[in-house]
Amino acid sequence: MKILIATSGVPFIRGDAEILAEGLREAFSKAGHEAELVVIPFQPYAPDRIPDQILACRLLDLTETCGVRIDRVIGLTFPAYLIPHPNKVIWLLHQHRAAYELWDQPAADSLMHYPDGFVIREAIRQADRELIPEARAVYAPSQSVAERLRRYSGITSEPLYHPPANASLFHQGPAGDYFFCPGPVNSANRQWLATQAIAQCREPVRIRFAGEPGRLTGQARSADKLKGSDRIEWLGMLSEDQKRDLYANCLGVIFSPGDEDYGYVTLEAMLSAKPVIATADSGGPLEFILAERTGLVARPTPESLAEAMDTLWADRRRAAAVGEAGRAHYQDLHISWANVVEKLL
Amino acid sequence: MKINWFSPLLPARSGISRYAMQVLPVLAASHEVVIWTDQEQVAPEVHKIARVARYDPAAPPWREINNGAISFYHLGNQPDFHAGIWQVSARQPGIVVLHDLCLHDFFFTLSVRRGQDRAAYLNAMERWYGQEGCRSAEAFCAGGISAESMAQNFPLTREAARNALGAITHCGGALEELHETPACPAAALDFPYAAAGESRYRAWLAARDGMPHLPYRLVVFGYLNRNRRLGPLLEALAGLREREQFRLELCGQLWDESHIRHEIERLGLSSIVSLHGFLTEDEVEQKLSTAHLAINLRYPSMGEASLSELQFWDYGLPTLVTRTGWYASLPEDAVAFVRPESEVADLQSQLRAFLADPGAFRAMGERGRRLLKNHDPERYVDALTRFAAEALRLAPRISALALAQRIGSDLTEWLPAAASPYLLERASKEICTIFEGHRRG
Amino acid sequence: MRILIATVRVPFVYGGAEVHAVGLRQALVEAGHQAEIVAIPFKGYPPERILDQMLACRLLDLRETAGTPVDRLIGLKFPAYLIPHPRKVIWMIHQHRQAYDLWQHPLGDLHTYANGADVRMAIHAADAKLLPRSRGLFTVSRNIALRLRTYCGLNATPLYHPPRDAGRFYTRPAEDFLYFPSRINPLKRQYLVLEALARTRSQVRICFSGPAEPGLERQCAELARKGGVANRVRWLGAVSEEEKLDLYARSLGVLFPPLDEDYGYITLEAMLAQKPVITCTDSGGPLEFVVHRATGIVAEPTQESLASAMDDLWNDRERARQWGDAGRQRYSDLRIDWGNVIENLLQ
């Protein structure tokens, strides 16, 4: 088949959607199809011109090229997924979140700063509501995105998972004496929960963090004074190889973000056959964790997190078993590019 | 719904402040309301109804305002009360409530007198009235046309609704009659008025009954300028043989007191007509409960609803009104009409009719009172919020129209006429599909 | 500077325009700028689709990203060069030729549609009215600049650029063959060269390389056989980069007589390899570079004239070598390098 993958790109900014798009293109290629990326330039920072850019996408014609039909268009991000095509499948990696759940979040580019921001918000929602259903099928990258799509736009979609980058390079090693907490360090990932939790652990738990503590919020800075702070190690910037090795040799992985859409970390941990300790309000990651079987789900408090860490630290056999179960679960979930290709076509 | 409310507020001396006191409590009872103001002072009673927040018209706090789902902007002709509100409404689409329909003076004052910037005014005149508007505007700026004439011919009502989600008036058909139908959804609602309780009403009736029948007490209330038709009223009285059976009380600020006094002298009405200036609430109640007929003439009128008319009905007072504007829409059996083209003659015939059958007029007043149930603030708030919710659902049309304008602007620069029909239709159809399609939330 | 290069992509087609954009981007990056290519998908039929896509381009907003301004937009092809930007420079690879020199030409098809004329007018109007809004109007060749003047009354400056891998060309002592490196199709006129070859007095030999359109290779072989010159031609098909460089280097001279070529990388490649070029008076682009009897021969597009040109080269090797050297000198004199391009585009 001749396939075009339509995505929106902000010039000079390489988003994860584009990385995914390339992964998808490769996957189509491997499956014997001809696939190309179509990247439509998108400027989201002038909200009053977003309607113009929606219309621009609607005016493009991807039905054929030089007399040869384009068999399928895969739409990934807003507003490129609005380009019309009779055989379009949307894999909704990104809506314009500023018009949805980020409407009232204090981001610098929030629509709320604009006097007519709500008009633009409604216009974007109307365009999505009206035009997404044109597609033959709508997929979402996770259950939480599918749920959001249903709640805001009344559109039903099926979750379709994809593997993290370089999935095949993750490996399992013997469990060492540390938990691994991957980065980046920011308020979304809530590393401070873990730094405070360690003070409450009974066991001599150790945690190795990717990144530097400089980016932590105020709460965590004071963790320096807390008990257990000598059992925390900040590893700074890590190469991909170093990261994979840390996964491979840890006892378990700590991943406690607030409302994450997807959660590559969970999958990376599963690929490394390591148990995950996640928090109940994390969103995306929880879709992959079978509580108590492939990971532990703590409440988002230092106390609860400490308890989970203690549990695994004290019972290495259980930790290993949970890790293995995680790897098995990954297989069961059919998280592979081959599966993605099959569904999208 | 979370509602942002922008209006003049007590103690501002605008009828809309009192209107707000009728409406806000009802609104705040079932919606979360934030009252926005740029006034120096706001009366304590207002603070009791809902949270009052301040804004600077030059730099409104959009984030905070956007916490509300929709904004209500109350517009009228007085720049002192409405300039700030207008400035916010021009940038954030909301529901504009047009308390006055003739806003020429407002826009002229705002841009030319206050802003020292003719361009905004001239642009508006051209935008709505084309070349003729442009020329007249220039002539007016040079002093060649009267303000009344400009106001009548170029009300600029649509300018107020230019960026609005929806527009509310209190007079059905007024916008159409003025040829000022806006592009946004519009609705006419009965002006809200909370009638006094039955026991209070009966006390008023008792007070009136307790008064000697003769002479009959005629009252005129409010800000008495030229369009209140005092001249024709005095003439009509003067020419009435039976004038001694009436006493006329002019209650309120006179636009030209010395002129009126002179006229009263000249027409020999000094023993019949008295001037009372601005009255307190209690004094107003005293006057209205003991009057027999209220004279509520307005000409010219631009479709504004009359709060005072509703107040007269509250008291069960029969009224004489000019058959024009909002008054023309009132039921025949609830008011007595005076035609603008024969004011003096009609006034005299109505006064004689009153003398012939005061009971009929009293019954008319009672019918007026019964009509007040249509003006129940609960009904008003219900209709207003339903309209607002619907207008909010149609918000994407604002984006659609703005986009269409930008495209039109661009295409005029380069697209030749022959290819225009196709591309304009294609773009319009697509814009409609995207923003005004059938799948609504 | 942050620079965006605006061009057009026909999906699954990768040709000279794509190479050009990539070359420009690379040159900009090497000169220390941040540069990215913005490629708008384009389908040029039916004609009303062209109007749609023109409007789509007018609707895009590339003035800034994430609050930082885009310092320059370089527009290369229609309709991407219509994208509005306050600091736009046009370096035109192509107008939409269907509306210009290919209108009512056998190779065009816009005129075959009922609304073709209206769309043609719209394209003319857009070019004429919107191109002057850019800060600079350049073309890749004088040929295109002339067309812009003729059809739109616009003045554009030709701005030449090097072929890909310009630095890799080298020269060697000439051997006994002329080289015709282009892909094989009627516009390149291999057939004319074969007919001319049959008329040469000397035993001129030619190596042809490049992929052929289906059936054409057999036709050409047939033509050679009929002319009795089959033993003096070699068909090499698609060759590797290294082979191509080698063939240029060892050739006696380069044959490139296409019909109204827009630019002609081959001419420049020959000059870089220090070889004389034989081209024709109606070849277009090459004429901007080849100086008759100084860096090569500009023949009439006839069998006799071409045959005579080939004989001239074949029979005077020393003069051929001198012409080749002069060609290399001319290349330098014309400042055909990316530095010059960037200087002009970013001034």
pLDDT at residue C211 in the model:
86
pLDDT at residue B117 in the model:
83
pLDDT at residue C72 in the model:
97
**Closest residue on chain C to B404 (Cα):** C59
Query: Is the CATH code 3.20.20.140 the one for domain A2-160?
Result: no
pLDDT at residue A323 in the model:
93
Strands B166-169, B51-54: pairing is: unpaired
> Stretch B51-78: mean pLDDT, rounded?
95
pLDDT at residue C17 in the model:
82
- Tokens 């008495």, residue located: B224
pLDDT digits over B140-189, tens only?
998 889 888 998 899 999 999 999 999 999 988 889 988 999 999 999 99
Domain ranges of chain A: 2-160, 167-333
**C125 touching chain B per CB within 8 A:** yes
Q: Cβ contacts of residue C133 below 8 Å, gap of 6+?
A: C88
Q: B65, B70, B434, B440: best mutation site toward chain A, by most A Cβ within 10 Å?
A: B434
| pLDDT over 60 at A221, yes or no | no
CA distance B107 to chain A (A): 22
CA distance B163 to chain C (A): 22
8 Å CB contact of A36 and C12: yes
Q: How far is CA B312 from CA B196, B231, B303, B334, C307, in A?
A: 11, 22, 19, 11, 111
pLDDT at residue A217 in the model:
57
- Which of A41, A79, A87 lies closest to A63 in space, CA to CA? A87
> Stretch A210-239: mean pLDDT, rounded?
73
Lowest mean pLDDT among A105-119, A165-179, A221-235, B65-79: A221-235
Contacting residues of B for C51, CB less than 8 Å apart: 419, 422-423, 426
Confidence label for B354 from pLDDT (cuts 50, 70 and 90):
very high
CA distance A60 to chain B (A): 12
Contacting residues of B for A59, CB less than 8 Å apart: 426-427, 430
Lowest mean pLDDT among A142-151, B111-120, C56-65: B111-120
Confidence label for A224 from pLDDT (cuts 50, 70 and 90):
low
| pLDDT over 70 at A216, yes or no | no
pLDDT digits over B227-281, tens only?
899 999 999 999 999 999 999 999 988 888 899 999 999 999 999 999 998 888 8
Please tell me the distance from the alpha carbon of residue A296 to that of residue A310, in angstroms, as a whole number: 11
CA distance B417 to chain C (A): 9
The partner residue sitting opposite C118, judged by closest CB among B413, B419, B426, is B419
> Stretch A254-279: mean pLDDT, rounded?
87
Q: B280 near B252, Cβ under 8 Å?
A: no
Which of residues 394 through 423 in chain B touch C, CB cutoff 8 A? 407, 410-411, 413-416, 418-419, 422-423
Q: Do domains A2-160 and A167-333 have the same CATH topology?
A: yes
**Closest residue on chain A to B438 (Cα):** A130
Contacting residues of B for A113, CB less than 8 Å apart: 62-63
> Stretch B327-356: mean pLDDT, rounded?
95
8 Å CB contact of B438 and A130: yes
pLDDT digits over B363-383, tens only?
999 999 999 999 999 999 999
Confidence label for B16 from pLDDT (cuts 50, 70 and 90):
very high
pLDDT at residue A219 in the model:
53
8 Å CB contact of A110 and B399: no
Please provide residue A37's backbone torsions phi and psi, each rounded to the nearest 5 degrees.
-90, 140
**C57 touching chain B per CB within 8 A:** no
Confidence label for A257 from pLDDT (cuts 50, 70 and 90):
confident
The ipTM is 0.84
- Which of C223, C205, C226 lies closest to C215 in space, CA to CA? C223
**Closest residue on chain A to C34 (Cα):** A12
Structure tokens at A64: 């054929």
pLDDT at residue C16 in the model:
75
**A110 touching chain B per CB within 8 A:** yes
8 Å CB contact of C48 and B407: no
Q: Tell me which CATH homologous superfamily contains domain A167-333.
A: Glycogen Phosphorylase B; (3.40.50.2000)
**pLDDT, mean over chain A:** 89
8 Å CB contact of B422 and C126: no
Please tell me the distance from the alpha carbon of residue C312 to that of residue C342, in angstroms, as a whole number: 39
> Could you give the percent of chain A with pLDDT greater than 90?
61
- Low-confidence stretches of chain C (pLDDT beneath 70): none
Q: Helices B343-356 and B230-238: crossing angle, nearest 10°?
A: 60
**C115 touching chain B per CB within 8 A:** yes
Q: What share of chain C is helix, strand, coil (3-state, %, to 5)?
A: 45, 20, 35
- Tokens 């309780």, residue located: B197
**Closest residue on chain B to C131 (Cα):** B414
Confidence label for B320 from pLDDT (cuts 50, 70 and 90):
very high
Q: B250 near B272, Cβ under 8 Å?
A: no
| pLDDT over 60 at A222, yes or no | no
The partner residue sitting opposite A65, judged by closest CB among C43, C62, C64, is C43
> Stretch B305-322: mean pLDDT, rounded?
93
> Could you give the percent of chain A with pLDDT greater than 70?
96
> Stretch A61-87: mean pLDDT, rounded?
95
- Tokens 């007509």, residue located: B273
8 Å CB contact of A104 and B406: no
> Which subunits have 3 or more CB–CB pairs within 8 Å of chain C?
A, B
| pLDDT over 60 at B349, yes or no | yes
**pLDDT, mean over chain B:** 93
8 Å CB contact of B434 and A114: no
pLDDT digits over A299-311, tens only?
999 999 999 999 9
Confidence label for A215 from pLDDT (cuts 50, 70 and 90):
low
Contacting residues of C for A59, CB less than 8 Å apart: 52-53, 55-56, 59
Contacting residues of A for C10, CB less than 8 Å apart: 65-66
Burial of residue A127, with CB atoms counted within 10 A of its CB: 0-12 exposed, 13-18 middle, 19 or more buried: buried
pLDDT at residue B392 in the model:
94
pLDDT at residue C276 in the model:
97
**Closest residue on chain B to C59 (Cα):** B407
pLDDT at residue A334 in the model:
87
8 Å CB contact of C11 and A65: yes
| pLDDT over 60 at B441, yes or no | no
Confidence label for A55 from pLDDT (cuts 50, 70 and 90):
very high
pLDDT digits over B395-427, tens only?
999 999 999 999 999 999 999 998 899 999 999
